[in-house]
Amino acid sequence: MIQPPRAKKINGDYAWLREKDQPEVLAYLKQENAYTESVMAGTAELQKQLFDELKGRIKETDQTVPAKLDDYYYYSRTEAGKQYEIYCRQKGNLVAPEEILLDLNVLASDLGLAYLRLGVFSISPDHRYLAYSLDTDGSESFLLRVKDLTTGQLLPEEIHGTYYTLAWANDSQAFFYTVFDAAHRPHRVFKHRLAAPPGTDLLIYEETKPGFNVWLRKTRSRRLIFIEVENQTMTESWWLDADLPSVPPRLLEPRRPDLEYFPDHHPDGDTLFILTNDGAPDFRLMAAPVDAPGRSRWREVVPARPGVILKDFEVFKTHLVLELLENTQPQFEVINLATWQRGRLRFTEPVYTLASDLNLEFTTDCFRFVYSSFITPETVYDYYFATGEQTLRKREELPSGYEPSHYESERLWAEAADGVRIPISLVYRQPLALDGSRPLLLYGYGAYEEVIEAGFSATRISLLDRGVIFAIAHVRGGGELGRGWYEQGKFLHKKNTFTDFIAAAEFLIRSGYTKAERLVALGRSAGGLLMGAVANLRPDLFQTIVAGVPFVDVLNTMLDPTLPLTEQEYGEWGDPRQPEFYDYIKSYSPYDNILPQNYPHILVTAGLHDPRVNYWEPTKWVAKLRELKTDDNLLLLKTNLGAGHIGPSGRYDALRDLAFEDAFILKTLGLLG
């Protein structure tokens, strides 16, 4: 059993674990890892078996569907045995010679890197230059480089500390990029001209108000570049003319509390389409002229509809594509801009997911999207505007074999204590007897208005084939049922997220899908907060809990505005400098509510370079659990010392982590055979 040194505790806390540069901290994390490895040593053969199964279900040598832009077709591919993607293009047609633009495997090898993640990948409008950025340790701090694709040579540019967005001006000689501040908040936009001396980039925009992030987005029409400023409850957009990159940005509509709007551009009539919650909590679509786009000029083109959430939209020359949620189900609605006639794409499975794929061209006869479900592998379709036809372009292949008819999915509804109905999506291998004998893995998140989608996962099959039911509890705090669903699970209503998850678990037990000693709970990041909370509230309800990079030290983190992201998070959790939020957060923060009681088996993961949930949060949580819990159940901490919030960057490394997690679940369920 790991015991943190008592002498190092500060005021009864484990604050010393925050001292990342102190040798004793790294030594402690390594000690925890060694303990975890020793406890799991008996599952080594199972982990290898699981890894082989997981690898066998991915097509190791594969390629995305090429996306056309002007005279080029862009795609990425993978090769067996290689960790990373290779980015390529062909000119003119798909039988032309392949041009490799960026091979991350070569970069990782040349630089001797165990971790490599791509941030920006942006081709200049003339297709000559590639701007790309790399994170080499998981800290999400990117080095930006520019490659001349005609010569294959790197330009002298090296820009450090950049973030995720970049946009080229139409002259292909200048681009705009974002950098972050000490709190890891993207707050500045700079303009860079190729071959400009270091330190001469022009500051275009700076957001000085804490809690607001700054992003860049170029429209598909290629005419405008938006500088988008947002926090959890309001947005503001500025726009640049991509043909006139020296003209300062212009404001679309000033920010104001609770106003969110998201513009896009159509060159016919120089029109902006604007998705907004102004007068419509679940959003509506407006239009306005670019030369006078303020709120007073907005006119409604798609009104709000009861029970329909307008999540997003895409603009093409002849059509709009709306992304909707209705009764938790995703929908695409297509609008003909000449006639304003609408039509919806129809799907028959009880639970499924939809996503727009890479649609690069503004003038096109089709819209590319991705469909999947718990049972149907990821499938790419082209939807043709003129005919409504859907052409299958690619379906995910599982080389080791897969028979969809062996599995069944369902949508269920649990009832919370306050009478609210909570949707549950689940999938299992047939046949199923509702006698409580099946193990069940229940996943939850419930934050940031995120919709947790019931999509296909080839890596999930190893558990399904061992009899494990997989379920998602779509708890409040997410966005599955609209803005109200989100608001009922944030601020001073956050505990609804936890009690909804508990209600879903109780319902599944009552309905015979599983029983407490066969029930596993899983959540990551903000979902890890959910795991910590339900562990304190109802430890008797779960046999096992897996908490990935969990946000469990909520009160201490939110009281420290010097930490990355803290001030941005006030819009989600509340500001604990205000007494009502302090008291409420303290009442549920997992670290502050550990009790001397029995807890389930728990696996906790962390990343040493994580800028979102600092490694010390899960580490402190585990240390305090070790001190107070009264059982002999497993409590393991696994810290990736070379990665951050997202975990390993290489695809095989990610599969090994998943095999380890699955082995822990099977071990604690007594399913090692």
Phi, psi for residue 537 in degrees, rounded to 5: -75, -45
> In one letter, which amino acid is 547?
A
Q: Is 649 in the active site?
A: no
Q: What is the DSSP string of 357-413?
A: -----SS-SEEEEEEEESSSPPEEEEEETTT--EEEEEE---TT---GGGEEEEEEE
Q: Is 560 in the active site?
A: no
Q: Is 400 in the active site?
A: no
- 3-state DSSP call for residue 670? coil
Report the alpha-carbon distance of residue 14 to residue 621 in Å, rounded.
9
Report the alpha-carbon distance of residue 126 to residue 110 in Å, rounded.
29
Catalytic residue among 135, 282, 610, 662: 610
Contact indicator for 593, 587 with CB cutoff of 8 Å: yes
Residue 574: Cβ within 10 Å count: 19
Report the alpha-carbon distance of residue 379 to residue 633 in Å, rounded.
42
Name residues whose C-beta falls within 8 Å of residue 6's C-beta, 6 or more positions apart in sequence. Answer: none
Contact indicator for 601, 632 with CB cutoff of 8 Å: no
Contact indicator for 549, 615 with CB cutoff of 8 Å: no
Name residues whose C-beta falls within 8 Å of residue 389's C-beta, 6 or more positions apart in sequence. Answer: 383
Catalytic residue among 133, 266, 645, 649: 645
Report the alpha-carbon distance of residue 490 to residue 492 in Å, rounded.
6
Report the alpha-carbon distance of residue 363 to residue 319 in Å, rounded.
10
Catalytic residue among 525, 589, 601, 662: 525
Contact indicator for 245, 169 with CB cutoff of 8 Å: yes
Residues annotated as part of the active site = 525, 610, 645
